């Protein structure tokens, strides 16, 4: 496969692409990696020692990672079975594009609001301590 073929419209929108897709093994491992990373992030957010802001950020990651893994696993299975329309390269690329877009948005939002969120978290923690002192 040359680069001109990669940029062609027919390559991405082929209704029934060939079953011996060159990067199918790589995409299979990427799909398995999404599931593994989602499990790791979920366990880390639940049992790891960190402040509440990072914990809340890490708890948001596994859901879309599971969704992307399930969608890509279904699309790869359709690719193995040579299902028309569902196995198009464009659909799989679209799923990964939207996941990457979501991930970039979440990380940028987290980085931009980190200082504010940490300040608010510390204030909430201090307010809880003050309320406990006032009860006694």
| pLDDT digits 0-9 by tens, 61-83 | 888 889 888 998 898 888 888 88
Q: What is the pLDDT of residues 43-52, one digit of tens each?
A: 998 898 888 8
Would you say 39 and 69 are in contact if contact means Cβ atoms under 8 Å apart?
no
Buried residues in 29-45 as b, exposed as e (16+ CB within 10 A): eebeebbeebeebbebb
Cα angle: 15, vertex 18, 22; to 5 degrees:
125
Residue 1 scores a pLDDT above 80: no
Distance of CA 118 to CAs 53, 74, 103, Å?
Answer: 6, 39, 21
Stretch 11-29: mean pLDDT: 76
Q: Tokens standing for 21?
A: 């897709």
Residue 113 scores a pLDDT above 70: yes
Annotated domain spans of the chain: 21-135
| pTM more than 0.95 | no
């Amino acid at each position: 496969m040359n680069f001109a073929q990669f940029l062609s419209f027919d390559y991405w929108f082929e209704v029934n692409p060939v079953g011996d897709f060159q990067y199918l093994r790589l995409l299979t491992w990427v799909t398995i990696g999404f599931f593994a990373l989602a499990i790791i992030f979920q366990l880390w957010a639940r049992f790891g020692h960190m402040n509440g802001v990072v914990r809340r950020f890490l708890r948001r990651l596994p859901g879309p990672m599971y969704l992307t893994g399930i969608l890509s696993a279904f699309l790869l299975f359709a690719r193995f079975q040579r299902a028309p329309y569902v196995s198009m390269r464009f659909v799989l690329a679209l799923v990964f594009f939207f996941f990457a877009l979501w991930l970039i948005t979440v990380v940028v939002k987290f980085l931009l609001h980190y200082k504010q969120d940490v300040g608010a978290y510390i204030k909430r923690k201090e307010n809880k301590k003050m309320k406990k002192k006032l009860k006694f």
